Amino acid sequence: MKELPKIVDQRWVEPRFKLRQLDLEFSNGAQRTFECIPSRGSGAVVIVPLADADTVLLSVEYAAGLHRYELGLPRGRIDAGETPEQAADRELKEEIGYGARTLTTLRSVTLAPAFMAHETHVVVAEELFEERLPGDEPEPIEVVPWRLDALHELIQREEFSEGRAIAALFIVREWLHNERRWK
């Protein structure tokens, strides 16, 4: 890996949105100012709940940013003191009414690493059982079973657009295909 640039100075330019400017000097002497949003909290989880080895449980939830209903995966932030697995278990129960006996974190993904420090952990949930915790959703979330061998059809649907969900399903499909030999 290359040598990291030296941070010459840094300042908050938009405290409300936590926008930070970094004055950097690279190893070749070039100097630039970058803007970024540092991570707040412990990150987030996106959960791939497997009803069985061939079926994932998706959710239908209102997406205010697009003002439409979006088909996706359960997800949420990791609260202070929680592990990704604990957050995934809590979010599953709050969002789709299931717990999991087995939770496996496969890796983390980023949204826009050039501008944001936010990481989302991809967690596979297996051996599901019904259990509901109160959540913050304004209406019940519809659960939709989807076969993993029809992933090619899912990614073509307009209402399935979140990049983290798309990435998580491909990551889990590869993990399952390789007989869970990661890590």
Q: Judge residue 117's burial from the number of C-beta atoms within 10 Å of its C-beta, 0-12 exposed, 13-18 middle, 19 or more buried.
A: middle
- Could you tell me if 92 and 74 are in contact, meaning their C-beta atoms sit under 8 angstroms apart? yes
Instruction: Give 135's strand partners.
Output: none
Residue in the structure block whose two tokens are 């993904």: 109
H or E element that contains 87: helix 84-95
Give buried/exposed letters for 6-24 (b at 16+ CB in 10 A, else e).
Answer: eeeeeeeeeeeeeebeeeb
180 Rama sector, left if φ>0, alpha if ψ -120 to 50, beta otherwise: left
Task: Give pLDDT tens digits for 6-53.
Answer: 899 888 887 676 788 889 999 899 999 988 887 777 899 999 999 998
- Could you tell me if 91 and 45 are in contact, meaning their C-beta atoms sit under 8 angstroms apart? yes
Task: Give pLDDT tens digits for 79-107.
Answer: 999 999 999 999 999 999 999 999 999 99
Identify the pLDDT of residue 55.
95
Q: What is the CATH number of domain 44-177?
A: 3.90.79.10
Task: Give pLDDT tens digits for 148-172.
Answer: 999 999 999 999 999 999 999 999 9
Show me where the domains of the chain are located.
6-36, 44-177
Tell me the longest C-alpha to C-alpha distance in the chain: 58
